[in-house]
């Protein structure tokens, strides 16, 4: 059996680090949104009792370091299923180490695919319990849409969906290690706290301009992204309602009402960013593309 899944990226409309936990993790408050750029993850049964991986990019690890591999192991352990052999093929479109949850999206897709292949019939809530053991963003990527995410990412609450708009993603030609980003917070703290209540009210009213005015990411206070100010200015010059960094960076995004404005901004951003795309909000984290016996 073979299952092909679209694994969508995410952006953070708001990201606040609330506290450092005793276990070393961090309590977060995030408004997260799935967006239309995706990896294609194909999971198929094979002989050999092994988990094997392939990918269109040479820079992606093809062993137990890959979140997709870890997700498969976590699924088999949680369901007490003996692995008789699976192969995971990943076609990457989500930029790597970009703050867009590309690896987590792949892990979520693997968990969803294995649930289908092995007919375990687990709910998304049950799958999320497996996913959080693999990575903090995996539960969101399993569920997707527009959600309030708290705890380390495992507490998900539905909020009103984002209105129709166009989102420009611009990732400079370098990555940010998430562990390093959190260490910077632990060492430096934050100087300003995002308006969490204001953002929740804006989200629930579905006021796109107000949502954009409330967008904030505390990582921007201590993660340096070269040309971030210039990229944001290009977006604003092309009528972006708001701009922000996603996750621990370095991807900067802007939200636009007009597709032509978004496309013009994307074209101008290519001076500063290697990976630039125009996409739209989507209402799920994973979507089955093809299932075959």
The number of CA neighbours under 13 Å toward the Cβ of 18 is 13
Q: What is the pLDDT of residue 146?
A: 98
Out of 39, 106, 137, 275, which one is annotated catalytic? 137
Out of 10, 70, 92, 232, which one is annotated catalytic? 10
Instruction: Please list the ranges in the chain whose pLDDT falls under 70.
Output: 293
Do 136 and 175 share a domain, yes or no?
no
Do 188 and 120 share a domain, yes or no?
no
As a whole number of angstroms, the distance between CA 81 and CA 172 comes to 42
The region that residue 66 occupies, defined by phi over 0 for left and psi between -120 and 50 for alpha, beta otherwise, is beta
Residue 137 annotated in active site: yes
Do 118 and 71 share a domain, yes or no?
yes
Q: For the purposes of burial, counting CB atoms within 10 Å of the CB of 53, is it exposed (0-12), middle (13-18) or buried (19 or more)?
A: buried
Residue 77 annotated in active site: no
Do 100 and 216 share a domain, yes or no?
no
DSSP type of residue 218: G
Torsion angle of alpha carbons 221, 226, 232, 234, nearest 10°? Answer: 170
Do 216 and 250 share a domain, yes or no?
yes
Domain CATH for 256: 3.30.70.890
Contact criterion met (CB below 8 Å) for 273 and 29: no
pTM above 0.85, yes or no: yes
As a whole number of angstroms, the distance between CA 252 and CA 193 comes to 19
As a whole number of angstroms, the distance between CA 166 and CA 264 comes to 12
Do 150 and 24 share a domain, yes or no?
yes
Contact criterion met (CB below 8 Å) for 186 and 170: no
Do 81 and 121 share a domain, yes or no?
yes
Domain CATH for 79: 3.30.230.10
The domain in which residue 214 lies consists of: 166-279
Helix (H, G, I), strand (E, B) or coil at 82: coil
Do 121 and 214 share a domain, yes or no?
no
Taking CA atoms, 266 is separated from 1, 79, 178, in Å, by 40, 44, 26
Angle at 10 between CA 26 and CA 272, to 5 degrees: 100
């Amino acid at each position: 059996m073979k299952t092909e899944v679209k694994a969508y990226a995410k952006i953070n409309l708001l990201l606040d680090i609330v506290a450092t936990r005793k276990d070393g993790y961090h309590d977060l408050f995030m408004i997260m949104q799935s967006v239309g750029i995706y990896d294609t993850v194909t999971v198929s049964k094979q002989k050999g009792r092994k988990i094997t991986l392939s990918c269109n990019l040479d820079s992606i690890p093809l062993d137990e370091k890959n979140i997709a591999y870890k997700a498969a192991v976590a699924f088999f352990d949680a369901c007490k299923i003996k692995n008789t052999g699976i192969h995971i093929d990943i076609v990457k479109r989500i930029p790597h180490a970009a703050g867009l949850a590309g690896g987590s999206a792949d892990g979520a897709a693997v968990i969803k695919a294995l649930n289908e292949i092995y007919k375990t019939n687990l709910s998304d809530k049950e799958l999320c319990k497996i996913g959080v053991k693999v990575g903090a963003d995996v539960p969101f990527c399993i569920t997707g849409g527009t959600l309030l995410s708290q705890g380390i990412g495992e507490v998900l609450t539905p909020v009103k969906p984002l209105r129709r708009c166009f989102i420009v993603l611009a990732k400079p030609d370098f990555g940010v290690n998430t562990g390093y980003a959190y260490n910077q917070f632990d060492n430096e703290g934050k100087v300003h706290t995002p308006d969490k209540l204001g953002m929740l009210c804006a989200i629930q009213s579905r006021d796109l301009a107000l949502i954009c005015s409330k967008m904030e990411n505390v990582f921007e206070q201590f993660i340096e992204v070269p040309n971030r100010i210039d990229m944001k200015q290009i977006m604003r010059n092309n009528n972006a309602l708001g701009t922000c960094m996603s996750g621990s960076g370095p991807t900067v995004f802007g939200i636009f009402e007009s597709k032509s404005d978004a496309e013009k901004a994307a074209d101008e951003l290519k001076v500063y960013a290697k990976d630039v795309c125009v996409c739209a909000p989507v209402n799920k984290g994973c979507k089955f593309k093809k299932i075959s016996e």
